[in-house]
Structure 1
């Protein structure tokens, strides 16, 4: 039975591939909502390649084959799958220069999600139809010309050319017009006698046109100059039709001659007027182009002015906030120095706490600026957004107060998203605080999650990649925003809040975070009705990671005997602090001010258990390059990179090797101590 089944399969396959028509079967894939997202070619015969020019189609998805046209094909064939109604249409395949008739029908049962597609070559039929249309159009045009000539009295005469004998017969008006002997016209003339009076410049083109008409058969029309009986040259037009015999050879060529001298004069005048109009248009176009260039220069100057205004606003806001913070830090340090001089060391705590608080606020401001500029250090992971938002609800409610009702609408079957969870929590809290401030008399905040498919057009409008996203929307029923406020909402330091009640960096930070994460943020608002801000973050293909249980930080452990740390940083004050910390913890410490000096230590025989290095170093060698060179001789060298911003290009886009870690400046010394101990012990 198996052999018989194999032979049957072989016969089927041979017949399948012997078909001249192309044939394939496609199978659709769909998402959790039942939306058709793609289809793959699961079967195709040899005729498919012959008809379409596309090779190795089996196993290929339409989104890989034709990304720009994929949505249209999915919609076209998807409608056949949904309705069960077959379709038929014609399409030109450029690869093989053919016109193909395409037929598609659903394969039953519909649960297979399969559609069969047949491709049939109709090129010959299309070309024959086109040739017939051209011939009929030319014939109609010639008939119309003759009818117009008759109506205007412009017919000069008629002729019949018996081609096998090369014998012309012309009527008396024809002979009189060109000074020919009428008796010869009745008895027959040769082609050479007929064209003897044709203008020498026009004769080669006339002969070529006649030969071309005889070769193909059918209608003929040509204009040329001929010397008439008065000795002057006049423009005439010959119209005729070559009759072919059963063997395809020309038999006869009857036609008429028409006087087109006046018509040519009118056409020449019309051409001169058209040329003058074109010249005027070109001059006008030049003036318009010059004016457009002038406007573009003015617009560029305006944009440059707006850029400088934005930079001025940014630097002004930074200077204001940092001067306040630096004043607090400087004042606290001065008071500490004064108290030490006075011997009142028991009063130092409040000034130290004030200075540390200012440092933390400066660090928060820096992180917001990095988020706005899309250069903050992110630690993306697969996140269940419903779980994250649910865990934040109690904190959000406490933050916005009892006068605001907070509710969550989480979508069932929500996809996972790839995002930095702490930054997402920070963004959610910022959005909820903004919503609270828009409802001074109380109201409702709704936090909603959803799956979103962004198509090519939507992605182009939003400046993002098309594909699947997870949305997080925070809406309120507060005061709402005007269009001009929405336009500026993401600008740094732009705020509608009173002085001292907002930095203007909240939404700009959220915008930068979304863009750096590969997503987008959009504001929808109406004055008096409320506002909705939506974050769109890329879908993660797979399950979300389980949340880690965060334990309380352990007490910093001292160094073990002989453990040595190399500190590489070009900032002397930071090196001083880190070296002092390492000394207090009992580590042996070595310092270097640049990558070259650090590399010399690492290429020596000195014991090095860990390198603490800045990423951006002077002298042409950054921290990552120094470590890569050092690992040639110390392949297991452990490294803690400390950086002021996300130098992803230097850190291989965040892809660190085992034994490497990153700590963002500024950092608390106890956090640095714990990270050093953790890396050395790992």
Structure 2
């Protein structure tokens, strides 16, 4: 430790204190010559250091104000006394003063820290430097001694060490968290007890190793460890959850925090890493989600059962009445009512499958004016006679890009909710208006349904789009209606929201993007007369109720039908050389070969044989492979039309 004091050379040579030359008489400690006054002023001005001289035996020969300030002795009290009186009793008994002078004499300098004693007997922690002073012949003639009181600094350092010790004890005592440090390259530099408990490595096994060994193989392949450090360095902090690997190879679900550590200059010196094993919490959350899912499924099942029982009752009643006979006009009305019940069931299934993402939306340009004019009639059938239904449809409404079936389902859902919100009757308005740049760049049309019902409080509005959420009594709804509306709008590339307050009614708005292309022309009505034919058709259908109905319907149209209950049996007939003009197969069938596998094999063996598939699930996978697909339930007319078109194109 340097204090700017350099004592050395001949007794009358140059001395230097903070760059000031002087000549000093070692025997008296008094400055000689023209610089004596300046030297005396300098030494007297220093009160942070005790600067004084000793003779060759250790007797004090000079004394400055700094020595007087923190040692307490006046010059008259201490000059001629041995410097050992500043040492503690234990240091004097151990010969520390003599050893200090001996070291200074032999090594040219003595420097140490230790306790010293003031005049009043109190102790202070001193930093001491002793330099030997020799004459021109090299003979030792005394010592220059500089002492500084560094008690406060020592106390601060001691407090810091104690704080660090307490912190280390705290960190090492934590067993619920892995707390450790990384160097700037990601290598582990220390390890606490929690890290050993959670990850299984002892300190000597892991210190010096790269922290990436805790990551899974897939995360390593994706470069996640390096990305985590890069984010922590750039943003100051990285936080994430994911799978980590213990020493024994087992995985645990970890919550990880990495903080960048920088020095006073801002230089990165490493990372602090805290990891917690959240496997139990994650498993608990999974069990809770499963319980909630089962509760939701129970609610869904109740609502679906209610709706389907109504549909089945309608179909059953129609069939029973037809079975009793009657005139053709009455039976035709009953058949039409039964088909309407089937159509309602079809839309309910489509709603459920769209919600479960088992059915993709069939998005196309839709003439919104025609769609709403068509839907208004259905809405009037859904609501009661005490509800007035009006259509607010200005001219020039743009076509929209959406799924027309799902649009109809969404509006019917909204109409049913509005009906239930107006038990005493009211007014329902279906409308639309063009919206230029609704999101700042996209033109769209707002389709809305407004009712004059009781309205909803804010907490209900906030949850109204949640799946399975309903305010209706058990069995009065599935809780899927508004969630289907919300999902439909967003899958169309738009949005949905609700404006409502208690006592002011409710308006549900759907934003649908404007179509860039013109809507398609009208399609052939599925209720048109079914085309007849004489072709040989192989039907692969495993359902024992549906299969004979399909066979009988096609035979009534003149076709020669062969039925098998599995894909493998259908393939066996083709391999055996049986000649068919068309294959009609269900996609989902028992056994190793489903309908899609069967279609692939038939195309390989007989490329010219037309294939039509049907499914009660999503038709997207099969359609993506180029096959014509009929979604169940379908009308016999639709099946006959598809067969006629396929045979004509073959």
TM-score by length of 1: 0.52
Shift of 1:613: 1.3
C-alpha offsets along residues 290-343 of structure 1, whole Å, 9 cap, x if unaligned?
A: 999988777665544332221111112233333454456567767888x69xx9
For the 8 Å contact 2:434–2:446, the answer to whether it is kept is yes
Pair 1:158 & 2:4 matched:
yes
Q: Given the superposition, is the C-alpha separation of residues 515 and 615 from structure 1 closer, same or farther in structure 2, using an over 3 Å criterion?
A: farther
Matched, 1:558 2:448: no
Where 2:485 maps in the other structure, the secondary structure is: helix
Larger Rg: 2
Q: Note if contact 2:379-2:412 (Cα within 8 Å) is conserved in structure 1.
A: no
User: What is the match of residue 641 of structure 1?
Assistant: 613
Counterpart residue number, 1:480: 455
- Secondary structure, counterpart of 2:405 in structure 1: helix
Tell me: CA distance 1:548–1:364, structure 2 relative to 1, closer, same or farther (3 Å).
closer
Partner Cα distance (1:628, 1:425) in 2: 35
Residue 194 of structure 1 and its aligned partner are, at CA, apart by: 8.4
8 Å CA contact retained: 2:445, 2:514 = no
Aligned-residue offset at 1:364: 3.8
Equivalent residue of 2:4, what SS?
Answer: strand
| Structure 2: gaps of 5 or more residues | 9-13, 19-28, 30-49, 62-103, 118-122, 130-145, 178-254, 256-274
Within the candidate set 351, 364, 367, 1:368 is matched to 351
Q: Which residue in 1 is equivalent to 2:153? A: 263
List per-residue Cα deviations over 1:423-442 (Å, max 9, x = no partner): 22332344355446545333
Aligned residues: 448
Cα distance change on mapping 1:483 and 1:411 into 2, 3 Å: farther
Select the structure that is richer in helix. 1
Q: 2:547 is matched with which residue?
A: 575
Give the aligned partner of residue 667 of structure 1: 634
CA RMSD of aligned residues (A): 5.3
Counterpart of 2:362 in structure 1 is 379
Deviation at 1:646, TM superposition (A): 0.8
Report what 1:316 is aligned to: 302
Cα offset for 1:474? Answer: 1.2
Question: Which residue is equivalent to 1:427?
Answer: 410
Superposed, which structure 2 residues align to 1:184-263 within 5 Å? 196-197=109-110, 259-263=149-153
Pairing 1:80-99 to 2, within 5 Å after superposition: none
Calculate the TM-score normalised by the size of structure 2. 0.54
Measure, in 2, the Cα distance between the counterparts of 1:678 and 1:666.
19
CA contact (8 A) 2:124 2:151 kept: no
1:667 match: secondary structure: coil
Helix, strand or coil: the match of 1:635? Answer: coil
* CA-CA distance at 1:631 after TM superposition: 1.7
Distance 1:178 1:633 in 2: 118
Q: Bigger CA drift: 604-613 or 545-554? A: 545-554
Say which SS state the counterpart of residue 572 (structure 1) adopts. coil
Structure 1 segment 419-568 matched on structure 2, within 5 A:
419-432=402-415, 434-435=417-418, 438=421, 440-442=425-427, 446-451=431-436, 470=444, 472-476=446-450, 478=452, 479-490=454-465, 496=471, 505-514=480-489, 516-517=491-492, 520-537=495-512, 542-548=516-522, 550=524, 553-560=527-534, 563-568=535-540
Partner of 1:418: 401
> 1:500: Cα distance to partner?
8.8
Displacement of 1:263 after TM fit? 0.9
Change in CA separation of 1:523 and 1:229 when aligned onto 2, cut-off 3 Å: closer
Deviations for 1:52-88, whole angstroms, at most 9, x for unmatched residues? xxxxxxxxxxxxxxxxxxxxxxxxxxxxxxxxxxxxx
CA spacing shift, 1:326–1:391, aligned 2, 3 Å: closer
Query: Secondary structure in 1 aligned to 2:614?
Result: strand
Q: How does 1:285-296 map to 2 (within 5 A)?
A: none
Q: Which residue of 1 aligns with 2:180?
A: none
Query: How far is the alpha carbon of 1:481 from its aligned partner?
Result: 1.4
Preserved contact between residue 304 and residue 478 of structure 2 (Cα < 8 Å): no
C-alpha distance after superposition, 1:336-375 (max 9, x if no partner): 88x69xx999998898777656544443432332233233
Where does 1:98-117 land on structure 2 (aligned, <5 Å)?
A: none
SS in 1 for 2:538: strand
Q: 1:235 to 1:352 in 2, by over 3 A?
A: farther
Match of 2:74 in 1: none
